[in-house]
């Protein structure tokens, strides 16, 4: 299995603190030695850093910890390989362009019979179940919506249905983003926390590091962080339910879909 | 205008030496202060590093100089903006997946009436003439070849025709790669050099740095480097002709198309 980290914020925010704890799970406090990646949305653009080596040993990962890239949406993944060799083409996150938007995807879990998912517009570069499922998911969305819909609620409902289909094939914890929205889907484990004024201190669970967010924020900042397991040990993280899809924008939940219901419940 | 750097090699090779000279043009020996990027193909995978800041000041660029990523194909670009603001979404290289291959593209030059080029499968994320032309080019190739052709010569001929169409709109010096082949098209300026045994010394034109390739290579290595302007001042670079398309694989030219001729001349 792997680990996921995500962020949605209403101001460009660096994720150095959370990432520092998270990457310790890549071969130090966790067994996930088979590569890592992180994607940032900035100023309408997108960039990612990926490395097929353990994050604790990675010069690129150290750079990301020390070089505060400010972003409204971040997705990161550290890998413990199951399907697909340890190599760059199998390293998350994966990206495809749809409607002139860079869509970014990372998956925790393992699927059965994923080879039968039919592909259309998008095809995998590597050999993982994760990337195949991503290409199927994006292809199905694009078949329904050749152009971006004015009203997004139908798109999100379709996304929830597709996530539920994938959950029936195994474990499918998901982070997906299009530059404006962050989508998180829980199959077995995903937790989130929203930080806003008054900001306090947080202690990393995976490293000896404390940050006082009050020193780094303004009173209007809203920053939500998500991870497969809580990253701090002195804050209350909310665990998502199996089959739950959350749609985030500017640090807050703007839509919520739960298992067995077709409509948004926010 | 911008600057382009490319490499094709028959063994995984690091480009630290050439990149060190090249990035000096990003705000030091050259005026190209509006961002830079570099893409590497490794083990069937692909990764890129992009920064909307001058390469001479970039911590990420310094990392790339010091961290030898070994690759068979590299494409790099430093930008002096003309069309499109200085921001991440407008920073080359650009990437799209076709047939399960990551295609990477960087452009030097400026086009007229590029907005009229019709788009199909691929749409630009940013606002440059370069990315629009890339999306058009890839869409036209995909219309002709929905699946990868067994015989590549027709594909290459079609690519040459499309490059010639773009050259008629202005200046279009191109680097394009699909992970197996590197394609270079010259509109006004591109030069190349092929290094093989017996290897000698090279002096960077843009920095005080000398390398003795004999210390870093084996007798079977073949490494070709391309750039808008020669990077060394003690070697014989070959300048490409306007309208010439070269197809590179494993460091050597496998096909050549010239202006006014429809067929490969190698």
| pLDDT for position B135 | 98
Q: Are B125 and A44 in contact (CB < 8 Å)?
A: yes
Segment A197-225, tens digit of pLDDT: 898 888 888 888 888 888 888 899 999 99
- B79 assigned to some structural domain: yes
Among A53, A97, A138, the strongest candidate for a mutation testing the B interface, having the largest count of B CBs within 10 A, is: A97
Q: Phi and psi at residue B59, in whole multiples of 5°? A: -65, -35
Q: Are B125 and A89 in contact (CB < 8 Å)?
A: no
The closest CB to that of B97, out of A60, A66, A96, belongs to A96
| pLDDT for position A266 | 62
Catalytic residue among A2, A135, A163, A186: A2
∠ CA A129-A135-A139, rounded to 5°: 145
Domain count, chain B: 1
Q: Are A125 and B47 in contact (CB < 8 Å)?
A: no
Residues paired with residue B225 on neighbouring β-strands, in sequence order: B7, B193
- Describe the strand order of the beta sheet including A244-249 as a list of residue ranges: A94-98, A101-108, A173-177, A182-186, A244-249, A252-257
Segment A52-99, tens digit of pLDDT: 888 777 888 888 888 889 999 999 999 887 777 888 999 999 999 999
Nearest-angstrom CA–CA distance, B73 and B249: 9
Q: How far is B37 from chain A (nearest CA, A)?
A: 10
Q: How far is A96 from chain B (nearest CA, A)?
A: 7
Going from the first residue of chain B to its last (266 residues), give the mean pLDDT of each consecutive group of 10, the final group possibly shorter. 91 90 75 87 92 84 87 92 84 97 96 97 96 98 96 95 98 97 98 93 86 87 95 94 97 94 71
- B264 assigned to some structural domain: no
Chain B neighbors of A65, CB-CB under 8 A: none
- A252 assigned to some structural domain: yes
- B132 assigned to some structural domain: yes
Tell me whether residue B157 is exposed, middle or buried, using C-beta atoms within 10 angstroms of its C-beta: 0 to 12, 13 to 18, 19 or more.
middle
**Interface check A132 vs B, CB under 8 A:** no
- B43 assigned to some structural domain: yes
- B266 assigned to some structural domain: no
> Is the omega angle on the peptide bond into residue B123 within 30 degrees of 0, that is, cis?
no
Chain A neighbors of B130, CB-CB under 8 A: none
- A265 assigned to some structural domain: no
| pLDDT for position B26 | 67
Q: How far is A47 from chain B (nearest CA, A)?
A: 7
Ranges of beta strands (E only) in chain B are 3-13, 36-42, 45-51, 71-78, 94-98, 101-108, 173-177, 182-186, 191-196, 201-203, 210-212, 222-227, 238-239, 244-249, 252-257
Under-70 pLDDT residues of chain A: 1, 26-27, 30, 262, 265-266
- A264 assigned to some structural domain: no
SS3 for A80-117 is CCCCCCCCHHHCCCEEEEECCEEEEEEEECCECCHHHC
Could you count the other beta carbons within 10 Å of the beta carbon of residue B256?
A: 17
**Interface check B260 vs A, CB under 8 A:** no
CATH number for the domain harbouring residue A140: 3.60.20.10
**ipTM field:** 0.93
By residue range, what is the domain housing residue A201? 3-257
Q: Is the dihedral of CA A26, A55, A40, A100 positive or negative?
A: negative
Does residue A135 carry a catalytic annotation? Answer: no
């Amino acid at each position: 299995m792997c680990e996921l980290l995500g962020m949605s914020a209403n101001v460009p925010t660096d994720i150095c603190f959370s990432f520092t704890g998270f990457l310790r799970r890549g071969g130090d406090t966790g067994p996930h030695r088979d590569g890592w990646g992180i994607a940032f949305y900035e100023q309408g653009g997108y960039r990612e850093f990926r490395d097929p080596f353990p994050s604790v040993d990675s010069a690129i990962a150290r750079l990301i910890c020390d070089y505060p890239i400010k972003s409204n949406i971040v997705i990161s993944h550290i890998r413990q390989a199951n399907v697909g060799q340890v190599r760059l083409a199998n390293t998350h996150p994966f990206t495809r362009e749809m409607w002139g938007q860079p869509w970014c995807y990372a998956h925790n879990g393992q699927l059965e019979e994923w080879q039968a998912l039919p592909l259309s517009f998008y095809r995998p570069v590597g050999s993982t179940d994760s990337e195949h499922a991503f290409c199927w998911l994006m292809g199905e969305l694009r078949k329904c919506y050749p152009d971006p819909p004015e009203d997004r609620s139908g798109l999100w409902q379709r996304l929830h249905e597709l996530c539920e289909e994938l959950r029936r094939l195994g474990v499918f914890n998901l982070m997906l983003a299009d530059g404006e929205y962050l989508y998180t889907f829980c199959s077995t484990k995903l937790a989130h926390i929203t930080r806003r004024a008054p900001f306090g201190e947080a202690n990393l669970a995976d490293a000896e590091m404390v940050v006082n967010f009050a020193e780094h924020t303004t009173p209007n900042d809203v920053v939500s962080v998500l991870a497969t397991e809580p990253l701090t040990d002195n804050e209350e993280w909310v665990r998502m339910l199996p089959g739950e899809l959350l749609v985030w924008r500017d640090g807050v939940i703007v839509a919520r879909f739960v298992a067995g219901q077709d409509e948004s419940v926010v």
